[in-house]
Amino acid sequence: MTYLISAVFYSDCRRTIIKHFAAFLLLFVQLNAWAEDSLVLPIGLDTSDYIIPGDNPITDAKVELGRLLFFDTRLSLDGTVSCAFCHSPQFAFTDGLMVSRGIGQQTGNRSAPTLVNRAFSAAQFWDGRADSLEAQVTGPMTNPIEMGMPSLEYVTGIVSGIPGYRDRFQKVFNREVNIEDIARAIASFERTILSGNAPYDRFQAGDADAIDESAKRGLKLFEDKARCNQCHSGSNFTDEKFHNIGVDWDGGTVDLGRYLVTGQAADIGAFKTPTLREIALTGPYMHDGSQATLEETIDFYDKGGNRNPFLDVEMARPTRSLDMMLTMFEDKTNTGAKSLPAEELAKLNLTSQDKLDLLNFLKTLGGEGWQRIEPPVSFPQ
């Protein structure tokens, strides 16, 4: 047992103290002996992939401060939107919408990803434009259609104008409220939003009955005929890389994705492989929320995604050179012509039973951890 356990089970802590005083004492002792190498996570997650930056060690007071800020609507211009507004525990830390809605009912063009297991990734956002959780936090605060604050100084002013927060910042960071510490506290809280110990994990750990026969066939398909694990790999079901699988390329505007960050033509339309943990709860799916259900998503992969010049090699049969891609891209923009012949798409040829099995497998990735996090009952005044 380590600090992290106490963070994850934070909301239960008070009850635990009363019911199991001895257990709490044990926790307390181990809390003082906190060391990264003794990190204990829900089963199935890989401790060695869990990222804690050297300059932002986790403490329980910091996590609690981050939880308060995360749920506090005073961090938005009109006092209606908090981080939790779009990343709500009710929807496994997403918002259940196709694309997010911020202050004044304004909508953006990307779907809110779940925040479970974000501690396992360096790059944040669909296009990876923030390279840490700390770096991500301030983005939504000043985004005019999300929390709409005029500047980060303004955010700092709001928080430091609340005496209850000033006290907490003194206790946690031993200094005045500043935007970097606001980000550190929220990022620390986010590191406690976890999902593991799913039926899939228990199956992998040796419990043969943890998932049914259909899900077992689905797992085999995931790793084999449907080749999902070429990208959704590792204990968090992502390779942490960026791929163009053709979402968006069926008409309408194209979101250039990773290209907007790197300026590399090969990254046009590429997005970060998202985790599949809690996937049954986090629809609609894809960066634009274009797939309403998991059934639709499986059909999308079955037909090989959408044709476009930058389609990932895993999604199309031939490996194309960048020059070929660029020529095809020009063709598309100039003529609107379909740039890849249909036969080049790597169709999966899944039977209806295969699709059902794959779906049942995906449902076994619903686990535990994040459910213990509750909105604060009251906020610092």
Stretch that binds ligand HEC, among 13-21, 104-112, 317-325, 364-372 (CB under 6 A): 104-112
User: Is residue 309 reached through a cis peptide bond, with omega within 30 degrees of 0 on the bond before it?
Assistant: no
Residue of the chain from 243, 258, 277, 363 that contacts ligand HEC (CB under 6 A): 243
| C-alpha span between 313 and 291 (Å, rounded) | 22
Taking a C-beta distance cutoff of 8 angstroms, is the pair 50, 119 a contact?
yes
Give the list of residues 6+ apart from residue 282 with CB closer than 8 angstroms, or none. Answer: 91, 92, 94, 113, 114
The site that binds ligand HEC (CB under 6 A) totals a number of residues, namely 51
Q: Does 98 bind ligand HEC (CB under 6 A)?
A: no
Is residue 330 part of the annotated active site? The answer reads: no
Nearest to 259 by CA among 272, 270, 248, 244: 270
217 Cβ contact list (under 8 Å, min separation 6): 354, 357, 361
Q: Which stretch binds ligand HEC (CB under 6 A): 20-28, 54-62, 156-164, 294-302?
A: 294-302
Cis geometry, peptide bond prior to residue 284 (ω within 30 degrees of 0) = yes
Quote the least distance from Cβ 1 to ligand HEC, whole Å: 27
Single out the segment in contact with ligand HEC by CB under 6 A; choices: 57-65, 156-164, 283-291, 320-328: 283-291
Q: Work out whether 83 is an interface residue with ligand HEC (CB under 6 A).
A: yes
Nearer to ligand HEC, 31 or 65 (CB): 65
User: What is the four-CA torsion angle of 350, 351, 355, 357, rounded to 10 degrees?
Assistant: -110
Shortest distance (Å) from residue 247 CB to ligand HEC: 4
d(CA 378, CA 186): 17
Q: Judged by CB under 6 A, does residue 268 bind ligand HEC?
A: no
Min. distance of Cβ 78 from ligand HEC in angstroms? 12
Nearer to ligand HEC, 145 or 265 (CB): 145
Give the contacts of 327 (CB within 8 A, at least 6 positions apart).
309
- Chain-centre distance of CA 287, in angstroms? 11
Q: How far is the C-alpha of 215 from the C-alpha of 204, rounded, in Å?
A: 13
Shortest distance in whole angstroms from residue 149 CB to ligand HEC: 10
Q: What angle do CA 269, 238, 289 make, to 5 degrees?
A: 50
Rounded least distance, CB 380 to ligand HEC, Å: 16
Nearest distance from C-beta of residue 132 to ligand HEC, angstroms: 10
**Cα–Cα nearest to 376, from 3, 7, 11, 8:** 11
Any contact of residue 306 with ligand HEC (CB under 6 A)?
no
- Which residues are at the interface with ligand HEC (CB under 6 A)? 81, 83, 85-87, 100, 102, 108, 110, 112-113, 115, 118, 124-126, 133, 136-137, 140-141, 146-147, 186, 190, 226-228, 230-232, 243, 245, 247, 271, 273-274, 276, 279, 282, 285-287, 294, 297-298, 301, 312, 314-315, 358
Which residues are known to be catalytic?
146
